[in-house]
Structure formats: C-alpha cells, structure tokens
Structure 1
C-alpha cells in the first residue's frame, strides 16, 4: 500500500509539472515571460524529466583542462588503458552471468541489481542513494569536460537533470570538434568518465579503510558501543530505559567492546541460561515476599504470583535437599549482587551462600545491560527483542557536542560510492547504444583497425555487430536482474 501511494504521488507531481509547463507555454498572457524565464535560468521540462543547463562552469573547465598539460595527458591516457580493459572485463563478466543463468548455475550475488525505492532500498537510505548518484554523475561528466578541453574540444555547457526520482548530470561537447580529432584523443575524452568513476571507488575505499584513524581525535573505539537509535515503544525505551548516546559496556557480564561483541553476547545469552547472583540464605529469607498460601507447584510456576513489577521469582538449590527452592525477590537488589554461574562461584568460608537464578522459561532471559554511569538496565524477555530495539555504533563521541551519527554517515556514504560508482563503470563501458561504451568502441576500432581494415564500411559493419551484441547482452542482464529481484 505504501509503494502504491509513493508511485501515485510521484506520477501526480510529474503530471502536474508537465501540465503547468504546457499551460504557461500556450497561454498568451504568460508565454512570453515564461519563455524568457526558461532562457535566463536554463530550466526545461519534459515528460517525467526536469533539466537545468548552463554555461556558467565553462571557464572553470577551461582552467582545469589547461592545468599541468603533461600530467593531465598522462592521467587521461591511463584512463584510456583502464577503459579498454574494463570494457573487455565487463563484457566477459556479463556474458558469463547470462551463460550461468541459462545453465541454471547462477552466481550467489548478482553483479547488476536494480535499486528501487520501497523494494530493495529502505526509505532511510534514499537520501544516500540519490546524493551518491548525483555526485558520481557530476564527477563523471567533469571528467569528460576536462579531457575535452585538454584535447581542444569545445565545451558548450553543463547541466543537471532529474528523471522521475533519479538525478544525474550531462556535458554538452562540440560534435564538430570531436569528429575532427584523432581516435586516440577521442578515447581520452570518452574514457575519462568511467576512469573518474573508478577513481571515486578507490578514494571511497581509502576513506573507509582509514576512517577509524581520521576519527581518533573525536571518537573512542574498542571500549564500548554507543546507542544511536532506540525503537519507540520497545521494551528498552522510556525514562528508565536505554537512551541515544548511552555507551553500552557489557550484557550480564559479557564484555561489549564493539558491535561484533554485542552480537556475540546476544547470541550467547540466547543459548545459555540466565546468569545467577550470590545471596546468603539469611538474606533470601529476609527479602522473600512469596505469598504464604502458595503451594510448591504454584511456586515453581510463579512464586511472585504476578503481583509485583519490582520482584521476580528466583530459584536456588540447597545441598541438603534434592529439589529446587523458590523465592520472590526484588530484582534490582538481587541483580546488584555478585554474578555466578555455578554454586561454587559463591563460596565464602563460614557463610551460607547460594547462587539464585531467575525462574524463567527457556526463551525468556533476565539480562543486565550496563550503559554508562547509570544503573544497569534490567531486561526481561527474549534477547532478540533487545537486539532489534536499538541501533549501535563502534564510535563513542569524546564530547557531547560531537555528532553521534557522523561515523555512520561517512561509512554509509563511502559504501554507496563504492557500489554505485563501481556499477556505473561496469554499465558505461559496455559497447551499448547511448552509453560511453558505444563511442569508446568506435574510437578504438578506428585507432587499431584503420590500417588492418582500410574499408570504412567493413569497420562500420564490425562496429555495428559489436554494439548490437553489447546492447542485447546488457538488456538480457537487466531483465535477469529484475526477474531475480521480484522472484
């Protein structure tokens, strides 16, 4: 139902925008002013698409393209080598995916996975996804523009667009200038986009790798995890529960130094019995508030008779008696005592100490969550409820003014840059109509086969066959990826 609502809102927005654009263009009163406005701003509206075009950045591209000419020539020549190798690897990889799928031997993870908001993209991640697409698109087109200036090809303008929900960028190069430069210089221009996308991947990998070092002045790691989000109306929310910013150090004696430790402690608490606490028999007798009229059978079920929110039924064992004893004890006071797992853990000379355990079923656990300087949270329930009630981070801020979610934002954005920019490399180098691979393939054929195949028509035929194969290959992979996504 939510997906249908979003689709209706998006279609309603684009329909309204298109109709408004058509009305203003056709209305005699407003059409002249509206056309002047579009010409001044560079805005344009078409079906499900909004564009902005400007020559404002042309001087910046010229300055960047004329900076260190020899270094830029080497930079974009390396980009040509990368683009050609990437094209070969991309075609081989996509062909292998199709063959494996037809032989019913699909790979565990699809290389091309369509990202669709509301289907396999959570709403909370939508901003990262759209921002990453915009950044990758801008830097991709900047690569084309700077390389074009370097090869004396005029840049007419630069623009941004929004297609339904997906942002992007484009650069307008002079087609006349492109046609007269040599194939090698064309390759430097055509390969610059995917080369810059690959550089983005490398840069994001480096940031992800050194992020803990970069954040050392502001965050501490390896001693606790910090709570970044608490689910509303969960078992741990509320004034006496867990709060955003609390550092969690242990769960019932299980040390928590990072998120992996947190997962291990939760898993351990599911498999093991609830931890016990050392208490003297004299103290048990003093604190026991079990109703006097309960039978031994009723005590084994619930010795507190569900009459108190502060007391819990505990069981313990006395050597002189074979059966377990039960006592309704104050949970907070009892769990403040030293922890124990076996009766021997409570041994103190000349003291009648026993290990009391929460009398619970096999699923419910009593856990102590130590979080900062506050009294430990007593959690009663299934450990997975605790696990899913909070979101955590390994980075504990050293000051209250330091943003709690900054490490998560940087990590998530870096991961999106790696995945989406890498996917753009794989897609754009495929020799397919309307992609960079089409022009890379044409320029490479002219560069390498002009002397071997002098006939231009024969080279054109070879180019057409390769482009048809690449287009069909990419189309089949997209169809298979969509089928895998929805089935």
Structure 2
C-alpha cells in the first residue's frame, strides 16, 4: 500500500487509502519530486462543512461551466484537426493566440529569465487555485483532504490533492461531478478576476501613475539600434509625426510605416517626375543655397556614395518642376539620378513638405516650400526605412526643474521649446527597432525609479496567470467527459 501511495499520477484527483493520513513521506527521484502538506487539511475541511450549502450552489454552477468548456474544447480540437486536413480556410494560429496567449510566429521569440519567472509564478497560482477548488468542494460533500502535494515532474511544476477514493465512490453522481469540476471552475474564476483587475488597473494606479498618454521606455539593451538615442525614463511622443499613446500604437504605426515605405519604393522605381515623387513622400524644405553647396551624389541601382555622416536626399524645386534633379534616358534601361548628401540632423529641424506627413495637425494636407527652397526627401534604400522619433525626457534634471512631467498633444514643438526632449532620425530595419526596446503605458507621477517597473510587473503577472489558468481550465475539462460516461 505504501508503494501505491507514491505512484505518479497525472490526474488532479488522487485517492490513497486512509492510512496515508498518519504517515506522509516525500518523494525524490531523478525525474520527479514532491512535497506533501497536511497542515491545511483541518482548516479547509471546517470551512467546507461550515459553508456547505453555499459551496454546493457555487460548485453546481461550476459543473455547468465545465460542460460548456468541454463543448468549447471539442470545437477547438475539431477546428484544429480540420486545419491539419485543410478542410477549413482560416488562420490556424487564431485559437492558440486568443485562448492560450501565444502565437507560433513571434518575432525574435525567446524565453528570458524574467519570462520564466512570470511563467513559474503564474503556474503556481493557477495550480493552487485549481487544487484548492477540489479540496473545498470535497469538504462541502463531507470528504476530508488527506494531503496536498506540490510536485516537479522533469521541469514542469504542478500540484495534486489526495482524497479518499472509497468516500468519492459513495457520493451521488452529481455530487461527485461537483468535486471533479471544481478545479476547472476555480481556474475560470481566476481568469475572470485577472481580466477584471487588468481592466481596472489604470484606475487603481491612477493616483500614482499617468496611463495612456505616451509610452515610457523601461529598458534599452546595448544591442538595440536605439541605444544611445533613448534612455530608461524617456517618453516616446510620436513616430514620424504620428502620436503614440501606448505599446500597441508603437507596433501598429511601425507596421503602417513599413507598408507605406514599400509603396513609396515602388512609386520611386516606376516614376521619374519630380513633383509626383516628392508629393507622395515626406520631405523637408531646404534653402537653395544649402543645396548648391552640398555634395552631389550619383545614385545608380539603389546604391549611394554619401559619406558615413551624411545622408542621400533627392531634391525638387516646388514651384518649377523643370528644375528637378531627377534625370532618365528614353530607353529606360539605364537610369541615373543625381542626389545630394546632407546632414540629416540639420535637415529634420527644417519645415516639412509633401503630403506624406499624416499628423493630428496637418490632417494629411500637402505642404509646399517657398520659391527659395527645395523640397528634399530621403532616398529609400533597400532594407532601410527613414523615420523621425520625437521623445521627451520628463524625468531629466532640466524638465524636473521646469516641473514638466507630461506633454500636450502638440508634441515636438513644445518639447523642443522647453528642451525636455528632441527629435532624431532612425534609418534601418524598423521591425528590429520596434522590438528592441521595452515600453510601458504607465508614467510615474513622481520621478523615475524602480516603481516605474511595478505596473509592467503587475500587467505581465496578471496576463500570464490569465493564460495559464485558462489553459488549465480547458485541458482539465476533457476528463469531465469520462466522468459523464461513468454517471
């Protein structure tokens, strides 16, 4: 009987004999170890018996939910099986992404140490909620808990509750079903609580944090292409003139800019009318004298010859398209274009032109330069995208002296005026740039410190617990089918 007590089982309910209550021994092996706890047996049993009437109603609701979850899991399995056989047309990743909180195709997907910590914590919480549900449901039916065990099978943590199999057999079928479905029901309630807290988190933290105004940088790794430009505590105000409020805006606008750049590159390769090109792109008004003094560059087959500290621009005089710097021969086989090498840091400080700038202020209207200016646009190179990033440093000593911890929607001009931030140009792979920094939608109201990471920690913990608990609820609803067959 002692050997049977330590036999590994993967069911959430385990039924050893009554003698196990008097002698508990922990199991340690190369692939499995556990730790048995009996100190909670009496408190859980007394609570279950004292609130038996209410708990039976509570867990009866859980039976209904478990049957619904069983139907949902069955439909998911049928859908996935149909996708394997190519019977359905749709995204096979949709159910995994929505229900289990992950997608197989994630850019640079890897599990960091902090992610492993969140996963371990959420697993312990979800499993504990699951097993306490079984224990309390059994107590409400008059079945005491023999012990609760926490185990580690290979690298997977878990827990189980040991109940008397003989007493379970004596229960009415629906009463036994309440015990078996209790874990699934408690995991579902855990999901609902996590979702509610996530929804109310901005309101709960509002006395201490500003939410949804602009994303704040939490970390910039040394390998990030934005290292040296952004620092922890900086706030990203806009990306290419488009206002950003949170991490979702950051990723969505990045995707939009990539699509726009692909379209611009296609237009540039097909069109050689100066005004037609610049008016579909984002440009800057550069004085004619600067253009005349700049170094000219011959641009052939998507290759430039600008020095490292300069960037290639194509220039068009707004009021005289005949002065366009773009030249092409009649046969269209060998196309040559003359460009100008300019300092990008100086150019971005000038007025903008072209209708490619879609901001809250311009509403997409086209802007032209004066007769003494050229509208210049950066040359789109293969694999590289030109974007302007406007940021603020509200926790820098200069801004703290001004007492400016937030910025209005006017953004860049207001920030530059008060020297609390600035604008810089990024040229490169926009996807790697967007994923290389860690952002949060919360800004501390009083200085940047470790407290700035607290909302991010809470959000990740709640989201991970939600997904793990949902996964446990769905997976553990499958054995309910066998319980129904035995009724």
TM-score by length of 1: 0.67
Alignment coverage as a number of residue pairs: 388
Where 2:387 maps in the other structure, the secondary structure is strand
Q: Which residue of 2 aligns with 1:386?
A: 433
Q: Does the alignment pair 1:206 with 2:196?
A: yes
Unaligned runs of 5+ residues in structure 2 are: 1-21, 265-280, 326-337, 357-365, 393-419
Deviation at 1:101, TM superposition (A): 5.1
What CA distance in whole angstroms lies between the structure 1 residues aligned with 2:130 and 2:248? Answer: 37
Partner of 2:373: 353
Q: Quick check: which has more Rg, 1 or 2?
A: 1
Pair 1:87–1:382, CA change in 2 (3 A): closer
**Structure 1: runs of 5+ lacking an equivalent:** 1-38, 291-295, 446-487
Q: CA deviation at 1:138?
A: 1.2
Residue 207 of structure 2: aligned partner? 217
Does the 8 A contact of 2:345 with 2:424 survive in 1? no
Corresponding residue of 2:166: 176
Report matched runs for 1:335-484 at 5 Å. 335-341=348-354, 345-347=367-369, 352-361=372-381, 363-372=383-392, 373-399=420-446, 400-401=448-449, 403-431=451-479, 438-439=482-483, 441-442=485-486, 445=487
Deviations 1:41-81 (CA, angstroms, capped at 9, x unpaired)? 95321351010012111233134324433322221222233
1:126 and 2:173 matched: no
Q: Where do residues 116-195 of structure 1 align in structure 2 (5 Å cutoff)?
A: 122-124=110-112, 125-195=115-185
C-alpha distance in 1, partners of 2:461/2:391? 29
**In the alignment, is residue 80 of structure 1 matched against residue 70 of structure 2?**
no
1:403-430 CA distances to partner (integer Å, 9 max, x unpaired)?
4444444343333333332332333232
Q: Distance in 1 between matches of 2:59 and 2:351?
A: 67
User: Partners in 2 of 1:162 and 1:378 — Cα distance?
Assistant: 50
1:249-302 Cα offsets, whole Å, 9 max, x none, are: 1123222233343334334444256632223324555xx353xxxxx6648899
Q: Greater relative contact order: 1 or 2 (C-alpha under 8 angstroms, separation 6 or more)?
A: 2
Specify the alignment match of 1:323 in structure 2: 324
Question: Contact 2:184/2:473 (CA < 8 Å) preserved in 1?
Answer: yes
Question: 1:303–1:327: 8 Å Cα contact kept in structure 2?
Answer: no
Residue-by-residue CA offset, 1:181-224 (whole Å, 9 max, x unaligned): 43343232222122112212222222333333333333333332
TM-score by length of 2: 0.67
Root-mean-square deviation over aligned CA pairs: 3.9
Take 1:255 and 1:186, find their aligned partners in 2: how far apart are those partners? 57
Matched with 1:314 is 313
